[in-house]
Amino acid sequence: MPILFAIMSGALFAVWHSFSDALAWRIYTAWYSPRRKEVKDKLKFVFGASSRCEFCEVKVPWYGLIPIAGFFILRRRCAHCSRLLSWRFPLLEACALVYGVAFAQHEPSPLYFTLTLLTYTALWVVIAIDYRMLLIPTEAIFALLVLGLFALLCIRHPHWYRFDNFDFGLDLSVAFLWYFLFHLLRIASGYKMGLADVRLVLALGFLLGHPLTIFLPGVAAAFAIIFYLLRRRSLLIYAPSETEIPFGVFLGAAFLLLNLSR
Ligand SMILES: [Zn+2]
């Protein structure tokens, strides 16, 4: 039974990643990309449209939507305009599959599993758009804050209103400590860091709780350092700016990793 659950969780996360990535790309296209003015009915575009080729806009056939395998069935090309598809699709779907299998090891409750899927989508919107253009949509931060408060007040500490739980106090303290330290860091860096990154730390702090939140900025910084060391070796690795760091991307990745070590 645990093996079956792990396989199902892995498959679900791979499909869910594919959905989240498409959603992030549509939100980017409708509100932030150079062609945003061409998209008239934005909500219909984001939620109603079926998956299309990023270049020629022709509908992707159903078998092209199968996570990982779809990429190889299509032989890496759009069937209509024959442009090459990016390796990021199967690679990230494979990562999501491994993530789902690893996450299943914690035997999460159905409520916690659902919360994690919703968190994944909001976080992927943050990661994908911050990586493209150094910008974090406020709506995604708001969604993560709501999810974080739900995790804190309804899942981890359902009797929080008694205010007699030391762990609840620690969860709040650690989240707010990083929030204030990130404000200071933002000022000290000459506002090189966005306000959205500061808010993101608070939301992720609520979601993770102590003691994992303590490690969040450190792991994110380690990811950022590794990324820029790799980038120095290969300019093929895309970065949105030479001077500013898309810290939301690294905070998001650090959260996903730490969330596994619960
Ligand atoms: Zn195409």
State the distance from the centre of ligand 1 to the C-alpha of 238, rounded, in angstroms.
22
Residues 216 and 99 grouped into a single domain: no
Residues 116 and 160 grouped into a single domain: yes
State the distance from the centre of ligand 1 to the C-alpha of 28, rounded, in angstroms.
19
State the distance from the centre of ligand 1 to the C-alpha of 74, rounded, in angstroms.
11
Residues 128 and 79 grouped into a single domain: no
Q: What is the mean pLDDT of residues 202-209?
A: 96
State the distance from the centre of ligand 1 to the C-alpha of 79, rounded, in angstroms.
7
Q: What is the pLDDT of residues 189-200, one digit of tens each?
A: 888 888 999 999
SS3 84: strand
Residues 101 and 127 grouped into a single domain: no
Check residue 223 and give its pLDDT: 96
Q: What is the pLDDT of residues 9-20, one digit of tens each?
A: 999 999 999 999
pTM of the model: 0.93
State the distance from the centre of ligand 1 to the C-alpha of 75, rounded, in angstroms.
13
Residues 100 and 121 grouped into a single domain: no
State the distance from the centre of ligand 1 to the C-alpha of 231, rounded, in angstroms.
29
State the distance from the centre of ligand 1 to the C-alpha of 80, rounded, in angstroms.
5
Check residue 225 and give its pLDDT: 94
Residues 119 and 47 grouped into a single domain: no
Q: How far apart are CA 193 and CA 243, in angstroms?
A: 11
- Burial of 42-81, coded b for 16+ CB within 10 Å and e otherwise, reads eeebbeebebbbeeeeeebeeebbbbbebbeebeeebeee
Residues 119 and 237 grouped into a single domain: yes
SS3 106: coil
Please tell me the least confidently modeled range out of 6-10, 81-85, 148-152.
Answer: 81-85
Task: Give residue 100's domain range.
Answer: 1-107
State the distance from the centre of ligand 1 to the C-alpha of 101, rounded, in angstroms.
32
Residues 99 and 123 grouped into a single domain: no
β-strand partners of 77: 84
Q: How far apart are CA 32 and CA 146, in angstroms?
A: 23
Q: What is the pLDDT of residues 235-247, one digit of tens each?
A: 788 888 888 889 9
Q: How far apart are CA 168 and CA 175, in angstroms?
A: 11
Q: What is the pLDDT of residues 31-58, one digit of tens each?
A: 999 988 988 888 888 887 778 887 888 8
Structure tokens at 186: 């933002």
Residue 237: other Cβ atoms inside 10 A: 11
Mean pLDDT of the chain: 92
Please say which residue of 107, 122, 153 terminates a domain. Answer: 107
Q: How does DSSP classify residue 51? A: P
pLDDT confidence of 122, banded at 50, 70, 90?
very high
State the distance from the centre of ligand 1 to the C-alpha of 56, rounded, in angstroms.
4
Higher pLDDT, 193 or 125: 125
Tell me the HSE value of 206 on the side-chain side, using a 13 A CA sphere.
Answer: 21
- Burial category of 138 from C-beta neighbours within 10 Å (exposed 0-12, middle 13-18, buried 19 and up): exposed
Residues 73 and 164 grouped into a single domain: no
Please say which residue of 89, 107, 125 terminates a domain. Answer: 107
State the distance from the centre of ligand 1 to the C-alpha of 5, rounded, in angstroms.
36
State the distance from the centre of ligand 1 to the C-alpha of 57, rounded, in angstroms.
6
Residue 217 has pLDDT above 90, yes or no: yes
State the distance from the centre of ligand 1 to the C-alpha of 55, rounded, in angstroms.
5
Q: What is the pLDDT of residues 99-113, one digit of tens each?
A: 999 999 999 999 999
Residues 192 and 262 grouped into a single domain: yes
77: phi then psi, degrees, rounded to nearest 5 = -130, 150
Residues 114 and 206 grouped into a single domain: yes
State the distance from the centre of ligand 1 to the C-alpha of 52, rounded, in angstroms.
8
Greatest alpha-carbon span in the chain: 63
Q: By the 8 A CB rule, do 129 and 136 touch? A: yes
State the distance from the centre of ligand 1 to the C-alpha of 249, rounded, in angstroms.
28
Check residue 1 and give its pLDDT: 61
State the distance from the centre of ligand 1 to the C-alpha of 84, rounded, in angstroms.
9
Check residue 64 and give its pLDDT: 87
| Total structural domains within the chain | 2
Residues 140 and 152 grouped into a single domain: yes
pLDDT confidence of 137, banded at 50, 70, 90?
very high
State the distance from the centre of ligand 1 to the C-alpha of 86, rounded, in angstroms.
12
Please say which residue of 107, 137, 157 terminates a domain. Answer: 107
Q: By the 8 A CB rule, do 152 and 187 touch? A: no
